[in-house]
């Protein structure tokens, strides 16, 4: 008789930057013999329907998120989601677990792997006596920032006294009482501290999420020991059962069979034709530009970036999502601009980012510093121009520029001449060359961490053993 497979229920926050790493982890567990139930919200499931290809032992299920179907689930709607999903999502998830447990079609549930910011799942896991591990999708430095939200509140840094503190230099205050974060300023902390409202939904939701994670059997992070050792040591004082299993993209590449490539969850249609366009350029000559799956820019910011890239004279591949500029940005990309970038600027709606970053012609990345983008650029040794927007992107930027030596920051008030000069410096300057050498050094360390006998490889093996044993 064939042994019963262990069964992992994997549930990410319903945003592309959270779905991607959770899906990689689910595929990694599947490659080790787990039956997988991957849980989307109903809204995302219907958005993904055409691309969802599962298998008998890799299935997709749904829960409600509590928002009306007309809600676009954009960046402005995150506070609403954080209010509804712990209520409606909790009830819906409880029913899903009950149904799966009663089903003869799937093995009994062995474990739940939840996104760190979907902590209502811990209540359900406890009710059913199912072990749960949580995957935090930010960097370790970002997570440590969230772990200090309570301290910032107690010490009077949160909430802001009034809105003038956003612009009068107050955010440059150095926070000297966190030994693992030497030189960090208030402005480097996750942006949810930047409010005068003590009841701010995003601040309190994230503070509660990291505190709830103490109830989990283990905490998983998509990073590797060499990159964030000091920060990880600080986090381990609160979470003793902490496992670094990143970069997940490298571990996935190493351990997952290619027959799992058909299982994906892209909320945007990818334009893979850009890879053929990249083929025609010299090694290291193209700038890749992508501000991620959530952030929005103003028409003025889009215009400044566009002309800065045009004036740099470098070829560039730029991902411009349909909703990047609220209300649309087509009119900003004028005939004059399109003529200026003709033949050397390619604009696409979405792209296979890991394949783009690994392409030999890509020499630099203009990024919002989301963690997936940051760690994927580390995997490929690509240096960065950093334009952080919200959440822990500011912390990632601080570490890229100050600690890891792989990036340069561009001011939030973006100007085309600054974009031009930083792109030129990145691609041909002395500093850019230094960043590139450092990025290549981190790439080797990331590869070592995910190779057999590497720290992340061993940690993943230990998680598998722990889950199978339980």
Active site members: 18, 115
From the number of C-beta atoms within 10 Å of its C-beta (0-12, 13-18, 19+), residue 343 rates as exposed
Q: What is the DSSP letter of 401?
A: I
> Which burial class, exposed, middle or buried, applies to 245 when counting CB atoms under 10 A from its CB (0-12, 13-18, 19+)?
buried
Confirm if 254 and 231 have CB atoms less than 8 A apart: no
Taking CA atoms, 174 is separated from 104, 185, 399, 408, 409, in Å, by 57, 4, 15, 20, 18
Tell which residue, 82, 92, 97, 68, has the closest CA to residue 15: 82
Q: How far apart are CA 52 and CA 265, in angstroms?
A: 6
CA distance 201 to 206: 9
The DSSP output letter for 186 is: G
Structural contact between residues 10 and 38, judged by C-beta atoms closer than 8 angstroms: yes
Q: Other CB atoms closer than 10 Å to residue 19's CB: what's the count?
A: 23
Taking the C-alpha atoms of residue 19 and residue 23, their distance in angstroms, rounded to an integer, is: 6
Q: At what angle do helices 430-450 and 371-380 cross, to 10 degrees?
A: 90
Q: Tokens 């009119």 label which residue?
A: 331
| Six token digits for residue 144 | 């440590």
Contact by Cβ (8 Å): 228, 138 = no
Q: Kindly state the helix (H) or strand (E) to which residue 420 belongs, with its residue range.
A: helix 416-428
Structure tokens at 54: 């599962």
Angle at 302 between CA 299 and CA 307, to 5 degrees: 125
Sheet holding 384-386, edge to edge: 345-348, 316-319, 286-290, 362-367, 384-386, 407-409
Q: SS3 letters for 92-133?
A: HHHHHHHHHHHCCCCCCCCEEEEECCCCCHHHHHHHHCCCEE
| Paired strand residues for 243 | 220
User: CA 6, CA 37: separation in Å to the nearest integer?
Assistant: 11
């Amino acid at each position: 008789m064939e042994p019963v497979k262990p069964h992992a229920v994997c549930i990410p926050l319903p945003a592309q930057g959270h779905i991607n790493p959770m899906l990689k982890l689910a595929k990694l567990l599947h490659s080790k013999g787990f039956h997988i139930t991957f849980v989307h919200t109903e809204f995302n499931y219907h958005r993904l329907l055409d691309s969802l290809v599962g298998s008998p032992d890799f299935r997709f299920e749904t829960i409600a998120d509590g928002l009306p179907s007309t809600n676009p689930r954009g960046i402005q709607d995150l506070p609403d989601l954080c209010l509804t999903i712990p209520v409606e999502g909790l009830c819906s998830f409880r029913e899903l677990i009950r149904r799966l447990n009663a089903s003869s079609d799937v093995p009994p549930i062995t474990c739940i792997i939840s996104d760190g910011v979907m902590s209502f799942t811990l209540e359900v896991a406890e009710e059913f006596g199912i072990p749960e591990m949580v995957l935090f999708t930010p960097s370790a430095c970002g997570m440590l920032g969230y772990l200090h939200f309570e301290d910032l509140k107690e010490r009077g840094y949160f909430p802001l006294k009034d809105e003038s503190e956003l612009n009068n230099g107050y955010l440059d205050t150095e926070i000297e009482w966190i030994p693992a974060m030497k030189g960090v300023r208030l402005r480097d902390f996750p942006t949810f501290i930047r409010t005068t409202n003590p009841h701010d939904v995003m601040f309190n939701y994230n503070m509660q999420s990291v505190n709830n994670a103490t109830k989990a059997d283990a905490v998983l992070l998509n990073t590797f020991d060499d990159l964030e050792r000091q920060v990880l040591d600080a986090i381990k004082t609160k979470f003793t059962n902490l496992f670094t299993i990143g970069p997940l993209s490298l571990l996935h590449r190493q351990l997952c069979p290619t027959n799992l490539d058909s299982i994906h969850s892209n909320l945007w249609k990818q334009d893979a034709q850009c890879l053929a366009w990249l083929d025609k350029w010299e090694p290291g000559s193209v700038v890749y530009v992508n501000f991620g799956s959530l952030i929005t820019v103003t028409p003025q910011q889009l215009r400044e970036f566009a002309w800065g890239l045009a004036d740099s004279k470098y070829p560039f591949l730029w991902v411009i999502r349909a909703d990047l500029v609220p209300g649309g940005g087509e009119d900003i990309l004028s005939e004059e601009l399109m003529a200026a970038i003709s033949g050397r600027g390619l604009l696409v709606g979405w792209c296979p980012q890991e394949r783009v970053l690994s392409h030999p012609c890509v020499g630099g990345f203009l990024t919002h510093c989301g963690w997936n983008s940051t760690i994927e650029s580390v995997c490929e040794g690509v240096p960065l121009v950093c334009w952080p927007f919200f959440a822990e992107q500011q912390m990632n930027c601080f570490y890229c520029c100050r600690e890891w030596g792989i990036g340069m920051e561009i001011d939030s008030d973006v100007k085309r001449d600054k974009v031009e000069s930083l792109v030129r410096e990145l691609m041909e300057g002395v500093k850019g060359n230094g960043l590139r050498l450092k990025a290549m050094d981190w790439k080797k360390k990331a590869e070592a961490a995910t190779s057999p006998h590497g720290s992340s490889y061993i940690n993943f093996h230990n998680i598998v053993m722990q889950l199978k044993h339980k």
